[in-house]
């Protein structure tokens, strides 16, 4: 078992509506600092007076990666890191971003997953701008995250590199227990 002040870097990936932000918040409860690649994009949109919605997040994320490198969002967040802290990065959807994060010592990628009907229900409940409200529209949106463009999103390829999986198919209490168990496992293995 390692010293609790050792740095630990985790990444969260997963499809639409699996609960990545909820899982990240549960890691925060366990002493992690949450940094979101989506937040970097959201700040860019706000700064440039561009409406915040999923389509613009995809469009401008691809544009930024094309103009500034496939790892631009990860590089932005890595600049914020402090020594001997535990971090959880969320919204990892492209290989360039993942590869940059994998340069952090001991970085571990975790897939958050849930059945499609549960995901659709969550998406409908949160009602974010641009979120699909039907299963066919959800599947179309998810196809946008499956490109072969190195500056675009390659979600399936990112998910394939996850070392651990958290299945979020129940309630927050059970999800919290899954996160606690994983944190203990990861800290013990460090």
- For 13-26, give the secondary structure using H, E and C: ECCCCCCHHHHHHH
What is the value of pTM for the model shown?
0.92
Cβ neighbour number for residue 160 with a 10 Å cutoff: 11
Beta bridge partners of 12: 110
Q: For the stretch 174-186, what's the b/e string if a residue is b when 16 or more beta carbons lie within 10 angstroms of its beta carbon?
A: ebbebbeebbeeb
DSSP 8-state assignment for residue 106: T
User: Which pLDDT score is estimated for 66?
Assistant: 94
Instruction: Name residues of the chain where pLDDT drops below 50.
Output: 1-4
- Pull the structure tokens for residue 151: 């500056």
Q: Looking at the domain 8-189, which fold is it? A: Rossmann fold (3.40.50)
Q: Mean pLDDT, the chain, as a whole number?
A: 93
User: Which pLDDT score is estimated for 5?
Assistant: 57
> Are 37 and 100 a contacting pair, CB within 8 Å?
no
pLDDT by residue (tens digit) across 57-100? 989 999 999 999 999 999 999 999 998 999 999 999 999 999 99
> Are 97 and 37 a contacting pair, CB within 8 Å?
yes
User: Which pLDDT score is estimated for 177?
Assistant: 98
């Amino acid at each position: 078992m390692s010293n609790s002040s050792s740095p630990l870097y985790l990444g969260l990936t997963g499809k639409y509506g699996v609960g990545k932000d909820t899982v990240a918040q549960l890691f925060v409860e366990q002493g992690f600092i949450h940094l979101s690649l989506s937040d970097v994009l959201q700040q860019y949109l706000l700064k440039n007076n561009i409406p915040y919605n999923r389509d613009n997040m995809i469009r401008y994320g691809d544009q930024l990666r094309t103009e500034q490198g496939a790892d631009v969002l990860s590089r932005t967040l890595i600049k914020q890191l402090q020594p001997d802290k535990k971090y959880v990065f969320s919204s990892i959807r492209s290989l360039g971003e993942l590869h940059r994060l994998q340069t952090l010592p001991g970085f571990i990628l975790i897939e958050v997953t849930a059945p499609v009907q549960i995901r659709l229900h969550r998406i409908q409940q949160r009602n974010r701008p641009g979120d699909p409200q039907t299963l066919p529209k959800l599947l179309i949106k998810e196809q946008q995250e499956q490109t072969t463009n190195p500056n675009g999103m390659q979600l399936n390829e990112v998910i394939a590199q996850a070392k651990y999986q958290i299945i979020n198919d129940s309630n927050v209490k059970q999800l919290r227990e899954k996160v606690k168990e994983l944190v203990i496992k990861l800290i013990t293995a460090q």
